[in-house]
Amino acid sequence: MQEHLCQPAHMCNTPATVRSDPGRWGGNGALDEALRAAGLGAGDTLLVASGRVLHALSRQPLPSLSGVLICPTVGGTSEPEAWHQTNEIVREVAERVGGRPQFLWAPALPSPAMRASLDQDPDFRGVTGHWDVAKAALVGVGAPPLQRDSISTAVPLGSRFIRRAAGDVCLNFYDRRGRGIEFEGSDRMVRISPAQLRAVPTVIAAATGKDKAGSIIAGARAGYFDELVTDRETASAVLAELRP
């Protein structure tokens, strides 16, 4: 099934193609189709985010992308849960596709001193430099923070700003209208910026769960992705919420 998110324009600014996969993520399914359509070749960069869905996908069969550079979109070296350890997800994806992993040795929210040091580090700058030249990105869509049973330790759940967030893409939080949300310390976060993400030619969001319908719509409204890979149940929930 392939349909289009939005149209009326007041719902979101950037239409997003929806590819639903009845077999979930299995080989040669909707995700394979989306990745192949991105036209990645040796030397191109594919950005990869963190999260439970991306962690699960990294352990599934994926199409060959020989020689493609696989780079993380966020830091996460100090995270206790595997699905927030972006380097591990990058390593798994690179192994599946025959790509070359690029690692980001930084937490999601470094101290002010560490952030200043990272900004001067050639290795850190080399990896984050891929955010400006990537040809495609594979990201997740986070549910509203207060509805999750797992979230990056860098996210201050007590913040009144975070408490009104509808979701996030690559730790870029937004409200139900797709407007960005910042909080104390968010300027130090190791994450691709919204502007950099919007500049990537193809951004594929992989997300499942009816509880994420509003998060997906708001993320599309914000222009964080232009294609959604999901299951039929989630696709139906998204499309139902968009109907007048």
Q: List the domain range (segments joined by +) for residue 189.
A: 2-242
Tokens 């310390």 correspond to what residue? 185
Q: What is the pTM of this model?
A: 0.89
Nearest to 239 by CA among 12, 51, 52: 12
pLDDT at residue number 20 = 54
Range scoring the smallest mean pLDDT among 9-13, 109-113, 144-148, 222-226 = 9-13
Q: How confident is the model at residue 172 (pLDDT cuts 50, 70, 90)?
A: very high
CB count in 10 Å sphere of residue 47: 26
Query: For residue 120, what pLDDT is reported?
Result: 97
Q: How far apart are CA 27 and CA 43, in angstroms?
A: 24
Number of domains composing the chain? 1
* Residue 56, domain CATH: 3.40.50.1360
pLDDT confidence tier of residue 200, bands split at 50, 70 and 90:
very high
Q: How far, in Å, CA of 176 to CA of 170, rounded?
A: 17
